[in-house]
A = this chain, B = another copy of it.
Amino acid sequence: MPNAFGKLFTVTTWGESHGPAVGAVVDGCPPRLPLEAADIQVELDRRRPGQSDIVTPRKEEDRVEILSGVFEGRTVGTPISLLVRNADQRPGAYDEMREKLRPSHADYTYQAKFGIRDHRGGGRSSARETVGRVAAGAIAKKILALGGMAQHGAPLEIRAFLTQVHDIAVPAAALENFPTLAAVEATPVRCPHGPTAEKMIERIKAVRAGGDSVGGIIECRVRGVPPGLGEPVFDRLEADLAKAMLSLPATKGFELGSGFAGARLRGSEHNDIFESRGGRVRTATNRSGGTQGGISNGEEIVFRVAFKPTATILQPQKTVDIHGAETKLIGRGRHDPCVVPRAVPIVEAMVALVLVDHWLRQSAQCGTFKF
C-alpha cells in the first residue's frame, strides 16, 4: 500500500496535479463523529494556493465533497471518501516538461522507477497530493478535539508555525509560550513573531522578484497528549512523526526536542529530571521533546522540520532530457518562491493522523482487556 498511511486510522491519498481530481479515503474512522464538509473545508482553505502575494498564484477552489461514510451529519464507521476536483489545470503549460528533466524535481526518478510519468505539473509528485492529507487530517483533528477533550481534561492542540525562512530566524526567547492560532495566522508566512514575520515576507518578495526560491524551518508543538502513545521499538512515536514529516515534499530534516544540538550536551545537562507536579509525574525540563523510549510522556511534543528551497525557479537551468541529451530549461509560468508557509496546515494534518492512529493502537492493546 505505497499510498496509504496509518495502521488503524488509514488514509490512502490519490490523484495527480493535472488529472481530473485529487482525494483520499479514510478507513477505520470511529463512528458517530459529527462531520460535515465545512469541517474539512476550513483546513483545505488554509492550504489553498493563491491566497496571498507570497505564494503560488494557482487558482483552486478546492471544494471537498464527502462521498461516503457520513450519514445525517455523523460518521458511520465505514470508509470516508473525499473528492476535490482539479480546476486550474493549464495542461499546455507543461509541454516543455514532457521530455525535459527539471533539476531537483522528481521527473527523473519517476521516469526511472515507472518507465512512464504524467509530466503535467509533476503529476503525483506535486504538492497538490497533500490536499488529500489535509482533508483526512481535518477529520483526525476533529476526533482529537472532541474525543481528546472529553478524556483528558485539557484540549489537545497541534500548533505548527515557521521559525525560519532562508537565514531569517525567530529569536529563541520569542517562542517561550505556546503560540496561539491567531498569532500564527496573523501573517501569510505563519510565523507567530510579528517582527520576524515582516522580515520573512520582505525576503520572500525579494527572492520572488529574482525568480528564485528559499527554504525554511517549521516547528510544531503539541500539548494535551496523554502519556502512553507510541510503541517500544520500530513504531516509536517520534519514528512515525519523522516518517510523516519526511514523507512531505521538499523536507530534508527532522529533529525532536534537543535535536542535533542535543549531541553537544552531556547527560547531566540533557536529562529531564522527574518531579511530581499537579498530581502527576512531570519533567522539570523538556529536552526529550515529549517522548521517552518512543512513548509520549505527557509533556509537550516539540519537533522541527527543515524544508529545502522550492525546486521550481524562474531562471534558465541546464539539464538533460529523458534520452540523456543535454538541453536547457527556461523557467516561466507560475512559481511558489517559498512553500513553507503553506506547509503549516499539512504538517499539522500529518501530526493529527499519527496521533489518532497511535491513540487507537494504544487503546486496543492496553484498554480492551483488563487483567
Q: Are A118 and B71 in contact (CB under 8 A)?
A: yes
Would you list 30 pairs from A and B whose C-beta atoms are within 8 A, ordered by A residue? Answer: A3-B233, A4-B12, A8-B8, A12-B12, A71-B117, A78-B123, A83-B83, A104-B267, A106-B293, A108-B227, A115-B366, A124-B233, A164-B263, A166-B263, A236-B246, A252-B255, A254-B254, A254-B255, A262-B306, A263-B307, A266-B309, A267-B311, A268-B315, A274-B318, A274-B320, A279-B324, A281-B320, A363-B367, A364-B364, A367-B367
Inter-chain contact B368/A15, CB cutoff 8 Å: no
Whether A12 pairs with B25 at a CB distance below 8 angstroms is: yes
A267 and B212 contact, CB distance less than 8 A: yes
Q: Which residues, 100 to 151 on A, are CB-close (under 8 Å) to B? A: 101, 103-106, 108-110, 112-118, 122-125, 129, 143, 146-147, 150
**Residue A74, interface by CB 8 Å:** yes
A365 at the interface (CB under 8 A from B): yes
Contact of B105 with A292 in the complex, beta carbons under 8 Å: yes
> Does A196 have its Cβ within 8 Å of any Cβ on chain B?
no
A199 CB-CB contact with B under 8 Å: no
A36 at the interface (CB under 8 A from B): no
B124 and A276 contacting across the interface, CB-CB below 8 Å: no
Q: Are A292 and B109 in contact (CB under 8 A)?
A: yes
Contact: B1 with A28, CB < 8 Å?
Answer: yes
A30 within 8 A of B: yes
Nearest residue in B to A359 (C-beta to C-beta)?
A: B368
Of all chain B residues, which has the CB nearest A229?
A: B113
A33-B104 contact in complex given A227-B112, A243-B239, A276-B320, C-beta closer than 8 Å: no
Q: Are B143 and A369 in contact (CB under 8 A)?
A: yes
A97 interfacial by beta-carbon distance below 8 Å: no
Chain A contact residues: over half helix, strand or loop, or mixed?
Answer: mixed
Interface residues of A in 253-273 (CB under 8 A from B): 253-260, 262-273
Query: Complex: how many Å from CA A246 to CA B230?
Result: 12
Residue of B nearest to A168 (CB): B264
Tell me the smallest distance from the CB of A229 to a CB of chain B, in Å.
8
A34 on the B face (CB < 8 A): yes
Given the complex, which residues of B lie within 8 Å of A252, measured CB to CB? Answer: 255-260, 262-263, 289
CA distance A33 to B239 in the complex (A): 28
Residue A341 lies at the interface, judged by CB distance under 8 Å to chain B: no
Chain B residues closer than 8 Å to A247, beta-carbon distance: 233-236, 239, 294
By a CB distance below 8 angstroms, the chain B residues around A371 are: 30-34, 74, 146-147
Please tell me if A298 contacts chain B, counting CB pairs below 8 Å. yes
**A191 proximal to B (CB < 8 A):** no
Complex contact A212–B253 (CB within 8 A): no
Query: A46-54, A62-70, A170-178, A181-189: which lies at the B interface?
Result: A62-70
Bound form: Cα–Cα A74–B19 in Å: 13
